[in-house]
Amino acid sequence: MERAVAQLEAGLGALGLDPALAAPLADYLALLARWNRTHNLTAIRDPERMVTHHLLDSLAVLPWIPERGRLLDIGSGAGLPGIPLALARPGLEVTLIDSVGKKAAFMQQAVTALGLDNARVVHGRVEDYPEQGAFDTVISRAFSSLAEFTDLSRPLLAPGGRWLAMKGRRPDEELAELPEDVRVLAVHPVAVPGLEAERHLVELAPEEQAPSRNPS
């Protein structure tokens, strides 16, 4: 675990983030590794790979995450990217939702252990979530296709809100399958320290509020 923490500290430096984040993120990493031994929350077992593939991967999208407002993380699983984002953005209200009971239980344990007053956990399906128009930002990480993601979460997006979809390779086929009333604001290449694989962040908005459909 010491090597993983050192890797985490180096990654935070590469991203230009506060080194004070290392301590709570290390606590989260240790809790995730411990739960993962019995609950199979993620296929990645090695703490060092968890740092690159989970923690730094989540934090690399921070330039597109607002300082304040309400963010919904759909299909959050083990709390990714929502918990790292909540740690890095204390002024942001983060809701983590997942339909799998053991994952929601882990997230609740992590939120409690980390003292994350700006995060709350919901066990359920996004299509059943009652707070319509509640979120300025709706994010997902490997949750579904872009079309399904926007369709399921559209009622939850506040006026002027955005969707953010974390992807690996640039998802050109998924972009082509989006309905006409969803605009592509940008497709951002994302650099994750220590990770050579491609990462992209797709920024979307409903047609009526978006200035352009051409992805950059």
| pLDDT score at 215 | 45
Q: Write out pLDDT tens, residues 131-145.
A: 888 999 999 997 889
CA angle 37, 43, 48 (to 5 degrees): 80
Residue 33's CB is within 10 A of a number of other CB atoms, namely: 18
- The whole-number average pLDDT for the span 5-11 is 92
pTM of full prediction above 0.85: yes
| pLDDT score at 20 | 96
Q: Write out pLDDT tens, residues 32-64.
A: 988 888 887 887 777 888 889 999 999 999 999
| pLDDT score at 123 | 97
Residue 129's CB is within 10 A of a number of other CB atoms, namely: 19
Q: C-alpha distances in angstroms, 76 versus 39, 89, 197, 204, 211?
A: 15, 17, 21, 19, 29
The CATH number of the structural domain formed by 52-209 is 3.40.50.150
The H-or-E segment that residue 182 falls in is strand 182-189
